[in-house]
Amino acid sequence: MNTPCLTHGYAEGCYILPPLPYAPEALEPFLDAETLMLHHDRHHAAYVAGANAAADTLRRVAAGELDAQSASAAAQSLAFNLGGHILHCLYWDNMSPVPSNMPMGGRFGEAVRESFGDADGLLRVFRSVTLSVQGSGWGVLGVDPVSRKMMVTGICRHQDVLVPAFEPLLVCDVWEHAYYLRYRNNRAAYLEAFMSKINWSVVEERFNRSCCHV
């Protein structure tokens, strides 16, 4: 998975937990402050800690300080926890307290029309794929690294069923901890509310940046 520059998630040789880009209560009534704080301060922070621990284990194996057999489990742990860290950084930033419409001009609009017909087509596919993610995972709009066209996919956990070099533009967390306090098991209601809080300026910026990779 190729991602936008996430320097705010790494500093001085360690993965770090970036602050929320808005106040915890800013997304009301979509999400309450308690949900956001638990999600950010506990769950996201745990992925950061797990990624750092796994990376440290791999460094110690490389230095001969730990048995080489430790590397396999550490590599799997790093994939899971770093995947969680990256996706959460994207998630916080692609939501906004201020509603906005999907931009349909320029290269972004052209790409939407080419892949989905129109904005409604994109949202229809995104809604269907995200609702159908089995268990814990993510709905993701991104760029196919081969065709360079937009595509929607689901990611199980943080790193399973993932297209290599896929570039995420918009991510929706559908692990239950993301919405259970407010929506219980009603993923569909949470998703509809999420779609009204998308920061399309950020999504378009990510797309324009991905075009520079061609």
* Domain count across the chain: 2
| Domain containing residue 79 | 7-21+31-93
In terms of domains, do 120 and 206 share one? Answer: yes
Q: What is the pLDDT of residues 54-106, one digit of tens each?
A: 999 999 999 999 999 999 999 999 999 999 999 999 999 999 999 889 999 99
Residue 26 belongs to a domain:
no
Instruction: Give the per-residue pLDDT at 2.
Output: 66
Instruction: Give the per-residue pLDDT at 3.
Output: 64
Residue 101 belongs to a domain:
no
In terms of domains, do 118 and 201 share one? Answer: yes
For residues 10-23, average pLDDT = 97
- Sequence-distant (6+) residues with CB within 8 A of 206 are 4, 94, 167, 168, 169, 170
Residue 66 belongs to a domain:
yes
pTM: 0.95
- Evaluate whether 130 touches 44 at the Cβ level (below 8 Å): no
Q: What is the pLDDT of residues 122-144, one digit of tens each?
A: 999 999 999 999 999 999 999 99
Q: What is the pLDDT of residues 157-167, one digit of tens each?
A: 999 999 999 99
Q: Which of 93, 118, 138 is the last residue of a domain?
A: 93
Instruction: Give the per-residue pLDDT at 99.
Output: 83
pLDDT over threshold 70, residue 168: yes
For residues 32-56, average pLDDT = 98
- Evaluate whether 176 touches 136 at the Cβ level (below 8 Å): yes
